[in-house]
A = this chain, B = another copy of it.
Amino acid sequence: MVTIADVAEKAGVSISTVSYAMSGKRSISPATRERVEAAIDALGFQPHQAARSLASSSTNVIGLQAPLRPGVDVHVVMEIVTGVVTQMRTRGYDILLLTGDDAHGIERVARGSMVDALLVMDIESDDPRIAALSQLEQPSVLIGLPAGRRNLPCVDFDFEGAGWMAVSHLAELGHKRIALLGSPEEVMTRHTSYADRRDRGFAEACASEKVVGSVHPCPAGADAVDALDAILAEDPSITGFFIHNEAALPHLVARLVELGLHSAEKPAVVALCPENVALSVPTLTESIAVPAFAMGTAAADAITEMLGGARQPGVRLIPPTLTTHER
């Protein structure tokens, strides 16, 4: 292994000069800098991160907890993760990936000083991890928005606004009775933060727009069709549909077309999903995009600010946009 001492020797300078030449934390004469740089890539020197961490007490690593719980939208999770990784790399950080869904992994990596900060996904309205995060030395940012006092910075998509927007749009199209087909039962019962907020926005908008709305959990895949049929059996007067379930979406839309309830000419569906998912569904004419990648980069930006010393919590919500797809 080639160390900073090898570089120093080769360049004919002291190791501190090499260190400073790399960090730029004090001025180095152009000539010296030149020789140091030449030595560095002649030897292929790469500083040992553990040594660096130990001396500087910072790791340049961010912990990212991305639990893969049942019912989550895989595309959304993946895109958020990619957004985080991509953005943090531009700032010189790597990502340590945790997949557990409790505070254990978080505490372990934080207390072992393996990370400079933590990013936590899939937040529940009343999330037990928040207390644990607050105890840590390292700053953290939630991707999601818990209920109640927000003592940690939060980044999320405005799901409440999206719920409201969907209703407004469907009402504008003339629909008087609207069903929200949302997340699977599991997601609802653990009160995943986005589901709660989406439902709230939906309900409030229905009241405001004077339309009748109903909220239904929705299983993934083909079973979703049965759920839809049951909903329509109970209330055949429903004509508008707000769908937020990536895995059920294609099946639901196909069924609605089959039933003659939805078509490009007579749209009855607003979907809430990543844009590429929406585009992959034929006859889906309008959707509100879940900007998953942007959520990841926004979270990365928030964490960067925390690392820079910012200390006020703060909530950032990315606003919803409705898109019409030409078919």
Contacts and interface: CB of A to CB of B under 8 A. Distances in A.
A18 to B, nearest CB: 16
Contacts of A47: 112
B251 A112 contact: no
A88 to B, nearest CB: 10
Given A222-B280, A282-B251, A46 B82 contact: no
Interface stretch (A95-103, A122-130, A159-167): A95-103
A279 interface: yes
B220 A280 contact: yes
Interface in A134-152: 137
Contact of A94 (B51, B113, B114): B114
A89 B77 CA distance: 21
Contact of A46 (B53, B97, B112, B220): B112
Contacts of A64: 97
A59 B221 CA distance: 41
Nearest to A47: B112
Interface of A: 1, 44, 46-51, 53-54, 59, 61, 64, 68, 74-75, 77-78, 81-82, 85-86, 89, 94-100, 105, 108-109, 111-114, 137, 220-223, 225, 247, 250-251, 254, 276, 279-282
